[in-house]
Structure 1
Amino acid sequence: MKRTELRRHTPLRQKARSKPVAAPAPVLVQPYTERKPIRATRPKMTPLRKFAKGQPCMVRLPGCDGGGETTVLAHYRLAGYCGIGVKPEDDAFGAWACASCHNLCDGRAKLKDWTYEEIRLAHAEGVMRTRVAISREAA
C-alpha cells in the first residue's frame, strides 16, 4: 500500500500574543445576613395532623402497636391527586396510623404474607375509619 504525505489544507492559526495580566480585583467579603425562609405553600402541621397525635391507629395491620404517641396522619396516595414526594393539598386522604403501620403503608417495611394491594386496602379502610372518627369528634 502506497502512503501519501500528510498535508494541511488550511494553515495553522497564529498564536495570540500574550498581554500583560492585570492583578485580580480584590474580593469584597460581605457579612453573613440571615436569609428569609422559603415560604411553604401550606403549613407543615395542619390541625388534622396535630389532632392525630394520641389517637388510636385506624389502619390496624399486623404488628400494630395500637397508636397513641406514635400516631401520625398517613396520607393515602391517589393517582391524579398526588404523586411521589407530593402530599395532597388537603388532609382529606389521611388515616391515623401508628409508626409501624405508617412504615408498612409507605413501603419502608414489608409484611411477609401481605401483598401491596392488601396493604393499600387496609390503608384505604383506615382513611374511612379516620373520617368517621373525625366527624364524630366534630359532632
Structure 2
Amino acid sequence: MTRASREYQERRDRERADRHERIGRQTPPANRLHHGVMGGPVGVAMPVPKSKPYRDAALLAMAKDRPCLMLVPGMCSHRTDTTVAAHSNFSAHGGKAKGRRADDCFSVWACEACHIRWLDQPIGHNGPTKAQKESAFMAAHSRQVMAWRVISTDPSEPERFRRAARRALEHLNASMPPKEWPNL
C-alpha cells in the first residue's frame, strides 16, 4: 500500500470513528469491515436472506378440475378444465419478488380467464388496478382456505390431498377452529 493510500485510509477510519461516536455507535475494527452479515460491513443493515419457499406438489395438483375461486365478474369462464393454482403476486405473500414466487399456500384455484387474462395482467393500460387485484385475490383466498378446510376432513378426497390441505392450513395458521366455537 502506498503512503498516500495509507494516509487516505487512516483519515477515512478517523472520520468514520468520529461519525460513529457522534451517533453513539461503536466503530468496528478496520480489519472486520468486510466480514459482516451477507458480506456487508459490520454494523450496517443488509438485506435479510430469502426464506425457504413453501412448496407442495399435491396442493397444486389438487386444483385440477376444481371450480374457479377467483370469480372475476365479467371475466370468469367457470371452466373447471382450465383451473390451476394461481399464486399471489403481492409482496406481502413473497410473490413477484426477484426470482421468487409466493408460497404454494398463497395460491387459489383460478380458471384460465381469471388467472392469465386478469390476475397476471400488468397494472394499468385499461387493466385492473393493484387494489382490485388484491381485493379479488384475498376474497378468493378466503374461499380457498374454506375449501381446504373441507378437503382436509373429507374422507372421499384422496389422502394426499387431505394431508396437503392440512399442511397448507397449518402453514397459514388457519387450522380448523375448535368445535366449541359457535357457527364457524
What band does the TM-score fall into relative to the shorter chain? 0.5 to 0.7
Pick aligned residue for 1:59 from 53, 70, 79: 70
Give the paired residue count: 98
CA distance change for structure 1 residues 80 and 118 in 2, over 3 Å: closer, same or farther?
closer
Unaligned runs of at least 5 residues, structure 1: 1-40
Paired with 1:81 and 1:93, the residues of 2 have a C-alpha distance of: 7
Give the one of 74, 79, 84 matched to 2:86: 74
Instruction: Give the 3-state SS of the residue equivalent to 1:52 in structure 2.
Output: coil
Distance 1:109 1:67 in 2: 25
Change in 2 beyond 3 A, CA 1:80/1:45? closer
In structure 2, relative to structure 1, the CA distance for the partners of 1:92 and 1:66 (3 Å cut) is: same
Decide whether the 8 Å contact of 1:105 with 1:120 is kept in 2: no
More moved, 75-84 vs 121-130: 75-84
Q: Taking structure 1 as reference, are residues 110 and 97 closer, same or farther at Cα in structure 2, changes over 3 Å only?
A: farther
- The counterpart of 1:131, out of the listed 145, 153, 162, is 145
Equivalent residue number for residue 101 of structure 1? 114
Whole-Å separation in 2 of the counterparts to 1:76 and 1:127: 9
Could you say if the C-alpha distance between residues 111 and 64 of structure 1 is closer, same or farther in structure 2, counting changes exceeding 3 Å?
A: farther
With over 3 angstroms needed to count, the CA separation of the structure-2 counterparts of 1:110 and 1:100, relative to structure 1, is: farther
Matches within 5 A, 1:1-139: 46-61=57-72, 62-79=74-91, 81-82=93-94, 83-88=97-102, 90-103=103-116, 104-107=118-121, 112=126, 114-139=128-153
1:3-48 C-alpha deviation (Å, 9 max, x unpaired): xxxxxxxxxxxxxxxxxxxxxxxxxxxxxxxxxxxxxx88x87101
Aligned mates of 1:129, 1:46 — CA distance in 2: 20
Q: Deviations over 1:56-100 (max 9, x none)?
A: 000011221113110011111332542154212x41111100001
User: How has the CA–CA distance of structure 1 residues 71 and 109 changed in structure 2, closer, same or farther, with 3 Å as cutoff?
Assistant: farther
TM-score, normalised via structure 2 length: 0.45
What do you get for the CA RMSD once the two structures are aligned?
2.9
Higher RCO (Cα < 8 Å, 6 or more apart): 1
TM, length-normalised to structure 1: 0.59
Return the offset for 1:128.
1.3
The sequence identity of aligned pairs, in percent, is 26
